[in-house]
A and B are shown apart, each in its own frame.
Chain A
Amino acid sequence: MNSLLPYFGVLLKGAFVTLELSALALLFSFVIGTLLGMGATSRVTPLRVIVKLYVEAVRSVPLLVQLFFAYYALPLVLGVNLSPYGAATLALSVYAGAFMSEAVRSGIESVGRDQWAAARSLAMGYRLTMLYIVAPQALRVTLPAASGIFIDLLKGASLTSIIGFVELLQTAVNVRNVTFTIAPLLAAGVLYFIMCFGLARVGYRIERALQYGGR
């Protein structure tokens, strides 16, 4: 364990990189998810079908394959070179966006139809109703789910090491290749646990804080 001490800073930095990548992907996925979630609850059938296809496709393909797609296939088609960081951000955002759209959809659907009718009777259009009536209430359902998605992202970010991005797990493997013990991997496991378990607790707190009625 003593041999690990000098590398502790490197591992912490790796954890920070993992957090940063996941947070960035969470941000993008929130944008994607909000747009798609609104599409999924719209009255326009083609829109709903497209969102459903997207969500089903993303959830039926391994994240690793999506990463390979972003890293190896997209540059050939678009003619642009993505760095491992760019490809990782793109793939993770698209991946989490599908789950986020489901979270947003169930959030919007948790708000009763009569609230839409009440807003309509107050002469509020779709945009006003969505912004001031539905969105604040939908967040009650969406935010706890978002913390679960963030945990999935933290764990999923470990796969980006396979396309050559150095995050926490790859840092641990690199340290292992110098020290020849599995201690750095165990240390990385502890760091993952602290991040994910902590987030799960935060998500639980948010869920409790946002609950109302029935108490």
Chain B
Amino acid sequence: MFYNPWLFLQNEGRFTSGAGMTLLLGASAVALSLVCGFFGWMLKDSKLYALRWLGNAYVESLRNTPTLLYVYLIYFGLAEVRVQVPPFTSAMLALGVQGGAYVTEIIRGAFNAIREEQRQAARALGFRPLKSLLYIELPQMLRIAFPALGNQVVSILLGTSIASVVAVPELTYQSQIIGESTYQYFGVFSIDAILYIVIVQIIGVIWRTVERAWFAKWGTTV
């Protein structure tokens, strides 16, 4: 017997709290990645060569190395200098800082997609660079970057499963615990997978709805 239909109901508490933790960790990491991505973009499009180099180094080094490496680096590296960081924070840091490298490129792409005329028109109307960024460029950038950001949100959310390695009680960790106590790995990981699929589908629906409701009426401006 490898599947017990009541498995979900019997362990509902663990599954739902795990899913909640996955969402919380995912949301925190996404928020951090947006901040990191914004700063990464500032560095990469800076006028100073040294800062541009730093931005490039940030993006390329983090995009070309696995997330798990950062989880271990934070875990072991901070232990070396006798700093204790809660598992949740270390996972959030690893996912957020690495996600930031991808977000940097998304923001940069969106900014470059805005035509130069928009900027010139803003200057002609007396917008200073900062105000023009806030009122003219950022709203349009958000629309351009929105689909790519959705993919990034999903990929960070799926990445949170790695946090189970440092014992953050998220969905995958809870599934492992249930699997170890019931030995019904097939059922447990099926439910685990289905929960992830449901969460990802919900995000997809939210994204499509926002796109239709907010951005569709803009047509093909920019």
Residues of A within 8 A of B (CB): 56-57, 59-66, 68-69, 72-74, 76-77, 151, 154-156, 158-159, 161-162, 169, 172-173, 176, 180-182, 185-186, 188-189, 192-193, 196-197, 200
Which B residues are CB-close (under 8 A) to A57? 193, 197
Interface SS of chain A: helix, strand, loop or mixed?
helix
Chain B, 48-80, CB within 8 A of any chain A CB? 60-61, 63-69, 72-73, 76-77, 80
Contact status B179-A65, CB under 8 Å: no
Complex: chain A residue closest to B158, CB-CB: A62
Question: What's the interface size class on B, roughly?
Answer: 35 or more
Q: Mark B178-210, 1 if CB is under 8 A from A, else 0.
A: 010001011011101100110011000000000
Instruction: Give min CB distance, A50 to chain B, whole Å.
Output: 16
> Assuming A60-B197, A76-B186, A162-B165, is B72 touching A65 (CB within 8 A)?
no
10 cross-chain pairs, A with B, having the tightest CB-CB distances, nearest first: A196-B64, A62-B161, A158-B66, A72-B185, A60-B200, A155-B66, A73-B186, A73-B185, A62-B158, A60-B197
CA distance A181 to B79 in the complex (A): 10
CA distance A57 to B179 in the complex (A): 21
CA distance A61 to B161 in the complex (A): 10
Q: How many A-B residue pairs have CB under 8 A?
A: 115
Interface SS of chain B: helix, strand, loop or mixed?
helix
CA distance A92 to B212 in the complex (A): 35
Which B residues are CB-close (under 8 A) to A69? 189-190, 193
Instruction: Give min CB distance, B83 to chain A, whole Å.
Output: 13
Contact status A65-B76, CB under 8 Å: no
Which B residues are CB-close (under 8 A) to A156? 66
Q: What are 21 residue pairs bridging A and B, where the CB atoms are less than 8 Å apart in the complex? A: A60-B196, A61-B196, A62-B196, A64-B164, A65-B192, A66-B193, A68-B185, A68-B189, A73-B186, A76-B183, A76-B185, A155-B65, A155-B66, A161-B68, A173-B72, A185-B77, A188-B69, A192-B64, A192-B66, A193-B60, A193-B65
Contact status B73-A185, CB under 8 Å: yes
Instruction: Give min CB distance, B156 to chain A, whole Å.
Output: 11
Residues of B within 8 A of A (CB): 2, 60-61, 63-69, 72-73, 76-77, 80, 154, 158-162, 164-165, 172, 175-176, 179, 183, 185-186, 188-190, 192-193, 196-197, 200-201
Contact status A182-B77, CB under 8 Å: yes
CA distance A68 to B64 in the complex (A): 24
Instruction: Give min CB distance, A133 to chain B, whole Å.
Output: 32
Contact of B159 among A62, A154, A180, A189 (CB under 8 A): A62
Contact of B172 among A65, A182, A188 (CB under 8 A): A65
Contact status A169-B72, CB under 8 Å: yes
Which A residues are CB-close (under 8 A) to B67? 155, 158
CA distance A139 to B159 in the complex (A): 30
14 new A-B contacts, CB < 8 A, other than A69-B189, A72-B185, A192-B64, are: A65-B161, A65-B175, A72-B179, A154-B66, A159-B68, A162-B68, A162-B165, A169-B68, A172-B72, A189-B61, A193-B60, A196-B63, A197-B64, A200-B64
Which A residues are CB-close (under 8 A) to B68? 158-159, 161-162, 169
Which B residues are CB-close (under 8 A) to A56? 197
Contact of A185 among B2, B61, B76 (CB under 8 A): B76
Which B residues are CB-close (under 8 A) to A62? 158-162, 172, 196
CA distance A41 to B155 in the complex (A): 26
CA distance A200 to B80 in the complex (A): 33
Contact status B66-A169, CB under 8 Å: yes
Complex: chain A residue closest to B199, CB-CB: A60
Contact of B201 among A60, A63, A151, A197 (CB under 8 A): A60
